[in-house]
Structure formats: structure tokens, C-alpha cells
Chains A and B, each alone.
Chain A
Amino acid sequence: MNYDFQFGAVFAAWPLLLEGTWKTIELSVLAMLGGLAVAIVCAWAKTAGPAPLRWLVNAYIELIRNTPFLVQLFFFFFALPAIGLRWSAHTAALTAMIVNLGAYATEIIRAGIEAIPKGQIEAGLALNLKAHQIFRFIVLKPALKAIYPALTSQFILLMLSSSVVSVISADDLTSVASNLQSQTFRSFEIYIVVALIYLALALSFQTVFRLVYRRTFHYPDRR
């Protein structure tokens, strides 16, 4: 191998890379919040809603989980504007991410709700807890604890798959990499550095999530 690695051009562009990293974080966090909101509503509809609504939510979940994110992105960016919905690449990307995460998170949250044994709620009633106390201490917290690992790893998957939005020229870390690549032709070096940034992001999120878990859910399990 006689290739002369030149990282100079990549590191010279650090403000751009930093900006791209920030945009990826922003996009992922916004999509996470939006996706969670969608998922909470859908999880309620799926567990307690009327039959037609349940059927609709099921169709949504199956449709999203059995098609690639890239195709969903193309659908939001190319197909919907063709029928009159005009929006920017950024909005289309964010919407696609919210819709995508919403489907996966619905299933996770539903599993969390169903994981609470009925006997525990009855025990709460027997101890004369108020309804909001039962919800907060007996349903919500254990349910969140049960789904926390699945939900956070889904978030990291979402953050990583957000690199695909660069294809429709939405702003993110990978699109910065693609622009740099076409200016400097140092594609290998750029993608190595950007892949390492993603790895650092994934590891940092993992660490933050673990710390939050330890602070919030540190109490003994029923055993």
C-alpha cells in the first residue's frame, strides 16, 4: 500500500464538522421527542383505543417496520410534495425520522405498559394510594424502567440511521462529509474521521443514558 494519507484538509474543516455534528445531534433529539410523543399516543390507542383506531395503529406500525427508512425518506421528500405538500429537505427528514421512530417506540412502550402486573395496581389501591400516586409510582416508573434500555438503544440506532438524510441533501454530519469530499477528494480520510465522530457520539449517548439510568431507576427490583 503506497497511499499517502492526508488528514490536513479534513482537520482544517473542523468548524464545518463540528457544525455537522451539532446538526445530527439536534435532528436526532428533535426526532426522539417527536417520535416519543407519537409513540405514547399510539401506545394508548393500541392498548385502550377503539377497534378501528387499533387497526389503524397496527397498520402504521407494520408498514413502517417492514420498509426501509431510505424509502420512507424518499416518500416524504419526493412523493408528498408531488401531491401539493411543499416542505424543505430538513422538515421532510425530521418528519420521516419522527414517523419512523414513532412506530418502533410504540411497540416498546406498549410492552412496558403490559409488563406491569395487575396485582401491583391492586396492591396500590389496597394501600389507599391516590390514583395519581398509583400512576406515578406503580405504573409509570416501573414501566419506564422496563423499557429504558430498549428505548435508548433505539435512539442510538435512530441517530446512526439519520446519516441517510444526507441523501436528500438535508443538513447533517454525513452531508458535511459529502460536501468536503467533493471539494478535497480526500474521501477515505473524511469518512474515517466522520465514522469516528459517529462512534464517539454513540458512546457518549450510551454513557449519558447509563448515568441517567443509575440516578433515576436505582432501586431494587421485585425478586
Chain B
Amino acid sequence: MRTFGTGDLLFILAAARWTVALSLIAFAGGAIGGLIVALSRTSDIAWLRRASAAFVQLFQGTPLLLQLFLIFFGAPVLGFDINPWIAAGVALVLNSSAFLGQIWRGCIEAIPRGQWEAAEALSLSYRHRMRDVILPQAVRIAIAPTVGYMVQIIKGTSLAAIIGFTEVTRAGQIINNATFQPLLVFSAVAVIYFALCWPLSLLAAAIERRHRRALAR
């Protein structure tokens, strides 16, 4: 048994890049999926609305841990080769697609009805109505909750540790098993997450405050 030293701290710090990488993958994939979900939820086509609603309900109604397990243990059964990287990436992308889709759907629906009618009166096609009229306005409302949701994604990546993906939490577990100084180790882990998440939380709050002031004027 050894004591917790600089080398151990560096090991945990180095693992933080995998937390960041996984978060970025989850956010990028979740943004694409979320846009599809949000557009489907607000679509005129009934089956598309129903299918996306079911997708959201499924991923918001079950634990992220179980989604991770289902993909990690289910993929080999279905004949796919899988490792913790892919399993964690896929689970987090699907999960954030559902949550971001739901958030952005609210932002799209918050655009006053008159804007939709005006776009329709100008006989803009669906594509132009969305791209040039609705989405640019919806994006402005969406920024604060989206930045806030990024904090949830970063925290969610910690669950990848459970299927053996070595990011910050797993690195902490490994070092703790070697040094047996859980107080130090998990404090260090918590500080790293805090350093990643807090600036985003502050940013989200600042954007929201500015937005509210702009509305109050």
C-alpha cells in the first residue's frame, strides 16, 4: 500500500480528458439527435410526433444506468462488437437526444403563433419557415437551458465508470483501491467535476439573467 501522491493526482487529472471527450461526444451526438426529436415533436405528421414522444418517454422514464447496461450487455447479444467507449457513447448520445429534444421542443413552441402564421402567409416552405423564422428565435431562448444541460451530461459520464470506462470516477476508484485514502481521492475527483461543471452553471445562470432583463425591458 502506498500513500496518495502527486503521481496519483496526475493519473486522475489525466483521466479527466476522457470525461471531457465523452461529454463532447454525448453533446455533439445529442445535439443532432435532439434537433431531430424537437422537430419531430413539433411536426405536423402524427406518427412522427407519436414516435418521438415514445422515444422521449422511454429515455426519460428509465435510469441512465439501465440504458448503459442494456447497450453494453445487449449489443453482443445482437451480434455487435462493443467496448465501454462505444457503449457509453451510444447510451449518452441517445439519452441526451431525448432530454435536449424535449428542452428544444419547448423553445420552439415558445415562439408566438403569429410568427408561424406570418411565415405561412408569406408561403415559406417548411424548411425556410424553420430555418429562417422559427429556429433563429428559438435558439436565443434555448442557449441558457442547453448550457445548463451540459452540466448534466458531464455528471452523467460518471456512470460510464460502472461498465469499466476509465474516466475521472473510475480513475478515482482505481487509485482508492491502491492507496486506501478515500477522503483525499474522492475529494480530488469531486473537485475536478466541480471545476468542469461550475463555470458552465454560472454561465447558464448569467445568460438566463440577461435574457430575463431583456424580456422585462
Do A and B form a real pair?
yes
A residues bordering B, Cβ < 8 Å?
A: 1, 3, 62-63, 65-72, 74-75, 78-80, 82-83, 160-164, 166-167, 174, 177, 181, 187-188, 191-192, 194-195, 198-199, 202-203
A66-B151, A70-B169 known; A188+B73 contact, CB < 8 A: yes
- Kindly identify which residue among A71, A78, A83, A164 contacts B190, using a CB–CB cutoff of 8 Å: A71
A66-B201, A79-B187 known; A174+B65 contact, CB < 8 A: yes
A213 → chain B closest CB, angstroms: 19
| Contacting residues, chain A, for B201 (C-beta < 8 A) | 62, 65-66
B residues bordering A, Cβ < 8 Å?
A: 57-58, 60-67, 69-70, 73-74, 77-79, 151, 154-156, 158-159, 161-162, 169, 172-173, 176, 180-183, 185-187, 189-190, 193-194, 197-198, 201
From A3, A62, A74, name the one whose CB has the most chain B CB atoms within 10 angstroms: A74
Complexed CA–CA distance, A71 and B188 (Å): 10
A30 → chain B closest CB, angstroms: 18
Sorted nearest first, the 6 A-B pairs with minimum C-beta distance are A68-B158, A78-B182, A66-B197, A163-B63, A68-B155, A202-B61
Q: A74-B182, A160-B62 are in contact. List 19 more A-B contacts (CB 8 A).
A: A63-B194, A65-B197, A66-B198, A66-B201, A67-B193, A67-B197, A68-B158, A68-B169, A72-B190, A75-B187, A162-B63, A163-B63, A188-B70, A188-B77, A195-B67, A195-B70, A198-B62, A199-B58, A203-B61
* Shortest Cβ distance from A63 into B: residue: B194
